[in-house]
Amino acid sequence: MRKCYIPFLFFFLISLTVLSALEYTPGQLIFKTSQPLNIKSDQTGITSFDHWLSTLGAHNLRPIKGMPNNQYFLANLEQEPKWQDLKEGKVKFAGIEYIQPNYLSTFHTIPNDPLFPRQYHTIISNPQAWDYCTGSSTVVVGIVDSGCLINHPDLAANIWVNTREIPDNGIDDDNNGYIDDIYGWDFVDAPELADIAIGDYLNPDNNVEDENFHGTAVAGIIGAVGNNGVGICGVNWNIKLMIVRSGFLTVDGQGYLQDDDAAAALIYAADNGCNVINMSWGDPNY
Ligand SMILES: [Ca+2]
Ligand SMILES: [Ca+2]
Ligand SMILES: [Ca+2]
Ligand SMILES: [Ca+2]
Q: What is the arithmetic mean of pLDDT over 140-144? A: 98
- Condensed to tens digits (0 to 9), the pLDDT of residues 197-251 reads 999 999 999 999 999 999 999 999 999 999 999 999 999 999 999 999 999 999 9
- Condensed to tens digits (0 to 9), the pLDDT of residues 117-138 reads 778 888 888 889 999 999 999 9
237 C-alpha vs ligand 4 centroid, how far in Å? Answer: 8
Confidence tier at 21 by pLDDT (50, 70, 90): low
The pLDDT score that the predictor gives to residue 19 is: 47
75 C-alpha vs ligand 4 centroid, how far in Å? Answer: 45
Q: What is the arithmetic mean of pLDDT over 67-78? A: 92
Q: What letter would DSSP give residue 199?
A: S
Residues 99, 86 contacting (CB under 8 angstroms): yes
**Ligand nearest to C-alpha 187:** 3
**Ligand nearest to C-alpha 169:** 2
19 C-alpha vs ligand 1 centroid, how far in Å? Answer: 35
Higher confidence at residue 13 or residue 284? 284
Around 173, how many Cα atoms within 13 Å sit in the side-chain half-sphere?
12
Higher confidence at residue 124 or residue 268? 268
The pLDDT score that the predictor gives to residue 10 is: 38
The pLDDT score that the predictor gives to residue 236 is: 97
**Ligand nearest to C-alpha 157:** 4
pLDDT of residue 66 exceeding 90: no
| Dist. CA 262–CA 134, nearest whole Å | 29
Inter-helix orientation angle 214-223/116-123, to 10°: 40
Q: What is the arithmetic mean of pLDDT over 4-20? A: 41
102 C-alpha vs ligand 3 centroid, how far in Å? Answer: 8
Q: What is the arithmetic mean of pLDDT over 57-83? A: 94
The pLDDT score that the predictor gives to residue 6 is: 41
The pLDDT score that the predictor gives to residue 20 is: 53
Higher confidence at residue 258 or residue 18? 258
Q: What is the arithmetic mean of pLDDT over 50-66? A: 96
* 92-125 burial: b if 16+ Cβ within 10 Å, else e: ebeebeebebbbbbbbeebeeeeeebeeebeeee
52 C-alpha vs ligand 1 centroid, how far in Å? Answer: 38
Show Cβ contacts of residue 39 under 8 Å, excluding neighbours closer than 6 positions: 61, 62, 63, 73
- What does pLDDT average to over the chain? 91
241 C-alpha vs ligand 1 centroid, how far in Å? Answer: 17
> CB neighbours (10 Å) of residue 18?
14
Q: What is the arithmetic mean of pLDDT over 148-152? A: 98
SS3 248: strand
Higher confidence at residue 4 or residue 137? 137
**Ligand nearest to C-alpha 180:** 2
| Dist. CA 75–CA 64, nearest whole Å | 10
The hierarchical CATH code for the domain 2-103 is 3.30.70
Domain spans, the chain: 2-103, 107-282
How would you classify the pairing of strands 59-63 and 72-76? antiparallel
51 C-alpha vs ligand 3 centroid, how far in Å? Answer: 24
**Ligand nearest to C-alpha 60:** 3
Higher confidence at residue 275 or residue 6? 275
**What backbone phi and psi angles, to 5 degrees, belong to 243?**
-95, 115
The hierarchical CATH code for the domain 107-282 is 3.40.50.200
Q: What is the arithmetic mean of pLDDT over 83-92? A: 94
**What backbone phi and psi angles, to 5 degrees, belong to 167?**
-65, 145
183 C-alpha vs ligand 1 centroid, how far in Å? Answer: 10
222 C-alpha vs ligand 4 centroid, how far in Å? Answer: 12
Q: Which amino acid is residue 9, in one-letter code?
A: L
